[in-house]
Amino acid sequence: MSMSIRFILAAHAHIARATRDEEFERLYKTQVKPFVATLYKYPKIQASLHYSGILLRRIEKAHPEFFMLLEDLVSRKQIELLGGGFYEPVLPLLPLQDKIGQIELLTTYIRRQFGKRPQGCVLPAQVWEQNLVGPLTTCGMAYTFLDEQWFPSPTVPCLTEDQGKLITVFPVSDTLSRNFARQNPRQVLKNLLETRSNEQDARVITVFPERFYVEREDSAPEFALHTFFEALSSFAPHFEFTTPGKIFRNFHTLPKVYFPCSTTRFDGLPRQCLIDYPEANGIYAKMMFTHILINQLRGDKERKHSAREELWKAQACDAFYPSKNGGIYRPAVRKAAYKALLSAEKITRENGFTPSLISFDFDLDGEREALFQGEELNCYIQAAGASVFELDYLPRCWNYLDTFSPERATQRASIRRNAFVDHLAPPEARFTISADSRFCGDERFELVELDKNRSLVRFCLQPLNHAPSVTLPFGNIALDKTYHLEKNVLCLRYVLSNQGTDPACFNLVPVIDLSFPSDGETMLRLFRCSGEAKERIAPDNVALTDTNALCFQDIRNEVNLNLLFDRQVDIEIKSITSSSSHAADVYQSTCISPLIPVSFAAGERFETEIRLQIGH
**Separation CA 265–CA 277 (nearest Å):** 13
- What are the tens digits of pLDDT across the range 306-361? 999 999 999 999 999 887 777 899 999 999 999 999 999 999 998 889 999 999 99
Q: Looking at residue 254, what DSSP letter applies?
A: P
Distances (CA, A) of 269 to 21, 92, 303, 331, 429: 34, 11, 36, 25, 42
pLDDT of residue 323: 79
CB atoms near residue 443 (< 10 Å): 17
- Strand ranges for 111-226 from DSSP E: 143-147, 158-162, 165-172, 204-207
Which stretches within 381-514 are classed as H helix?
A: none
pLDDT of residue 351: 83
pLDDT of residue 430: 75
**Separation CA 489–CA 615 (nearest Å):** 9
- What are the tens digits of pLDDT across the range 164-174? 999 999 999 98
- What are the tens digits of pLDDT across the range 559-588? 999 999 999 999 999 999 987 665 668 999
pLDDT of residue 210: 60
**Separation CA 165–CA 136 (nearest Å):** 9
Q: Looking at residue 405, what DSSP letter applies?
A: -
Looking at 188-202, 230-244, 360-374, which range is the least confident one? 188-202
Query: Confidence class of residue 396 from pLDDT cuts 50, 70 and 90?
Result: very high
Residues 433 and 509 sit within 8 Å (Cβ to Cβ) = yes
Question: Collapsing DSSP states into helix, strand and coil, what is residue 303?
Answer: helix
What DSSP assignment string belongs to 214-251? HH-SSS-HHHHHHHHHHHHHHTTTTEEEE-HHHHGGG-
- What are the tens digits of pLDDT across the range 411-444? 444 578 999 999 999 998 777 777 789 999 989 9
3-state helix, strand, coil in the chain (%, to 5): 30, 30, 35
How much is the mean pLDDT over the chain?
A: 90
Residues 392-407 have a mean pLDDT of 92
Distances (CA, A) of 411 to 276, 277, 280, 444: 9, 11, 16, 24
Residues 517 and 480 sit within 8 Å (Cβ to Cβ) = no
Q: Looking at residue 334, what DSSP letter applies?
A: H
Residues 475 and 496 sit within 8 Å (Cβ to Cβ) = no
Q: Looking at residue 487, what DSSP letter applies?
A: T
Cα of 39 vs its chain's centroid, Å = 34
The candidate with the shortest Cα–Cα distance to 99, out of 270, 274, 291, 306, is 291
Cβ-proximal residues to 289 (8 Å cutoff; 6+ apart), any chain: 362
The candidate with the shortest Cα–Cα distance to 266, out of 401, 147, 113, is 147
Q: Is the pLDDT of residue 62 over 90?
A: yes
Which stretches within 492-541 are classed as H helix?
A: none
- What are the tens digits of pLDDT across the range 515-566? 999 998 889 999 998 777 789 998 778 999 999 999 999 999 999 999 999 9
- What are the tens digits of pLDDT across the range 278-307? 999 999 999 999 999 999 998 889 999 999
Distances (CA, A) of 100 to 92, 97, 510: 12, 5, 45
Cα of 558 vs its chain's centroid, Å = 25
Query: Confidence class of residue 215 from pLDDT cuts 50, 70 and 90?
Result: very low
The candidate with the shortest Cα–Cα distance to 518, out of 448, 471, 577, 566, is 577
Residues 100 and 118 sit within 8 Å (Cβ to Cβ) = no
**Separation CA 54–CA 336 (nearest Å):** 13
**Separation CA 498–CA 603 (nearest Å):** 5
pLDDT of residue 87: 97
Residues 616 and 393 sit within 8 Å (Cβ to Cβ) = no
**Separation CA 69–CA 72 (nearest Å):** 5
Specify burial of residue 464 (Cβ count, 10 A radius: 0-12, 13-18, 19+).
middle
Q: For the chain, which domains are there?
A: 5-250 (3.20.110.20), 271-353 (no CATH), 369-615 (2.70.98.10)
Residues 207-211 have a mean pLDDT of 75
Residues 548 and 568 sit within 8 Å (Cβ to Cβ) = yes
Per residue in 385-398, is it b (16+ CB within 10 Å) or e — as a string?
A: bbbbbbbbbbbbbb
CB atoms near residue 259 (< 10 Å): 17
Cβ-proximal residues to 472 (8 Å cutoff; 6+ apart), any chain: 438, 464, 465
Q: Is the pLDDT of residue 262 over 50?
A: yes
Cα–Cα–Cα angle for 242, 189, 186, nearest 5°?
120
pLDDT of residue 266: 63
Residues 491-520 have a mean pLDDT of 95
pLDDT of residue 214: 47
Amino acid 247 reads I
Query: Which H or E run contains 530?
Result: strand 524-530
Residues 36 and 42 sit within 8 Å (Cβ to Cβ) = no
Q: Is the pLDDT of residue 227 over 80?
A: yes
pLDDT of residue 73: 97
Query: Confidence class of residue 33 from pLDDT cuts 50, 70 and 90?
Result: very high
Where is mean pLDDT largest: 98-102, 125-129, 150-154? Answer: 98-102
The candidate with the shortest Cα–Cα distance to 136, out of 113, 158, 110, 104, is 104
Cα of 466 vs its chain's centroid, Å = 42
Residues 446-467 have a mean pLDDT of 89
Question: Collapsing DSSP states into helix, strand and coil, what is residue 412?
Answer: coil
